[in-house]
Amino acid sequence: MVNKNVLRKLSNQELEGYLKEGNRFVPEAVQAAFEILEERGRVFSEQEKETVQQLIQHKKEEEEAKRIEEVEVWKDHITEDPQAVKLYSRMTILVSSVFFSPIPGSILLFLNLIKLKKYLASFLTLAFGFLFFIFQKYVLLSHFDFGTTSRYSPEIGVIAVGALGLLVISVLATPKKLPYRAESYILPVILCAGTAVLMYFYSPEWFSFYPLARAINIFRQ
């Protein structure tokens, strides 16, 4: 958000810098500087006006291209190319982490990174999954009341942090826009099923803040 009043404190010479090619200012700031200069009596020729508008349009296109690029980095690039490496999708990792704790998600991402020969990142991922799970129980549960039923309950935020942590590791450690084939769901299902069994037997001690564990407890009752 560009504050026009702040720009009004600048001199004409400083504002002229906003209209030069290669400047680092956002398009809204360039437009505001142009309008302030006009208010102060600066007369622009038609060619100068066209040059400024082209500069603003170019900056907008650059911003849009950057935004699209950032979105692309976070997306899965699944392909049918038989030569592409097979990996577990980010969505699979995210879903398993949200519903079944970061442990199965970290195992799946660990296997992905091992396949990509990112060995240090793979072991850090595994450590993150298990340590964050312990962190949830022994630190967060002692500071928050997880008994609330509000949709803004702290446990939802805690779970999201663990899942998003794995997603960030995946984005940072995986080559950008890497095309890959989706790996089979067999192992994710086995890991999640095993976690569900643990939830059934150890829910009060380890999984009480997971919605699925609560559902299991209701079923047991």
Give the pLDDT of residue 74: 75
> What gap in Å lies between CA 13 and CA 211, rounded to an integer?
60
> What gap in Å lies between CA 211 and CA 133, rounded to an integer?
15
Give the pLDDT of residue 60: 93
Give the pLDDT of residue 116: 95
The mean pLDDT value for 178-200 works out to: 90
Bigger pLDDT: 219 vs 92: 92
Share of the chain above pLDDT 90, in %: 54
34-63 pLDDT tens trace:
999 999 999 999 999 999 999 999 999 999
18-37 pLDDT tens trace:
999 889 999 999 999 999 99
> What gap in Å lies between CA 154 and CA 3, rounded to an integer?
36
- Name the range with the highest mean pLDDT among 113-122, 167-176, 200-209: 113-122
Type and span of the H or E element at 107: helix 102-115
Q: Is pLDDT of 149 > 70?
A: no
Give the pLDDT of residue 153: 58
**Is the CB of residue 99 less than 8 Å from the CB of residue 212?**
yes
Give the pLDDT of residue 100: 86
User: Which three-class secondary structure state does DSSP give residue 1?
Assistant: coil
Cβ count near 92 (within 10 Å): 22
Q: Is pLDDT of 181 > 90?
A: yes
User: What residues have CB less than 8 Å from 200, skipping those under 6 apart?
Assistant: 216, 220
Token couple for 10: 């600048």
> What gap in Å lies between CA 18 and CA 141, rounded to an integer?
52
Give the pLDDT of residue 218: 56
The pTM of the full predicted model, rounded to 2 decimals, is: 0.69
The dihedral through the CA atoms of 139, 145, 151, 152 has a sign that is: negative
> What gap in Å lies between CA 181 and CA 178, rounded to an integer?
10
Length reported for the chain: 221
> What gap in Å lies between CA 137 and CA 133, rounded to an integer?
7
**Is the CB of residue 108 less than 8 Å from the CB of residue 92?**
yes
The mean pLDDT value for 144-161 works out to: 61
Distances 206 to 133, 182, 196 between C-alpha atoms, Å: 9, 31, 12
Kindly provide the residue ranges of all beta strands, DSSP E only, lying in 79-167, ordered along the sequence.
85-87
